[in-house]
Structure 1
Amino acid sequence: MPTRPDPPATWVRRAGAICTALPECYQEPAWTGVRWRVRAATVAHLFGGEDQLVRITFRAEPDEVMAFEHLGPPYFRASWGRNVVGLLLDSGTDWEELRELLTDSYCLQAPAALAAQVARPG
């Protein structure tokens, strides 16, 4: 079975800076990679795949899930969870766009009182 690469430390730091700036969002190790959570809900999961590509998954509104699925690479719909989508990360990743996606994911996963404290992008 192929091994999964660890996500680059710089990408973990960049995604972590986005997520941990949100109220009560924290980082923890996952079975592979790292994830960020608010209370018990996962906001994002950054990990390497058996194909040696690095991905980040997050939550999205139902209509956005369909849009991401139709956009195709670098976006994808995860095979678990009805509102889980992801992005293949590489040297050309738009980190400002990712900030918006992760902030939206946080607002979907956080309790309403915490989500209300966050200015949503766009």
Structure 2
Amino acid sequence: VRNNGGGHANHSFFWKVMSPNGGGEPEGALREAIENAFGSFEEFKKQFSEAALGRFGSGWAWLVVSNGNLEILSTPNQDSPLSQGKTPILGIDVWEHAYYLLRQNRRAEYVEAFFNVINWEQVAKNLEDASS
């Protein structure tokens, strides 16, 4: 259940935080929360990318709400931050299947390109839902 259920839940979440019209930078309460937690959007982007690139093998990098605060973490395989009591608001799949056909082993290019499709409106809604 953990692997298959986790895979289903993680991927269902993943599709929602992307959009062909995504990209740019977050605004409003989400932007403020990111700046409060990480100092700047650029620092958030750096730390999130490091979590994605630092995951050895297959897994995920996440922006989560934990005890009312934003954190970045990485999980192996199909593990979810929910199992740690943390609520994901953004996640990136770093399993090889997510990028190999287009980018082969160039995970860094994939992670950088992910920022061009993030649906910040959905991430803001996820933050609002996690905070209520």
Same fold (TM over 0.5): no
TM-score w.r.t. structure 2 length?
A: 0.32
**Structure 1 length as normaliser, TM-score?**
0.33
Q: Which has the higher contact order (CA 8 A, sep 6+)?
A: 2
Greater percentage in strand: 1
More helix by share: 2
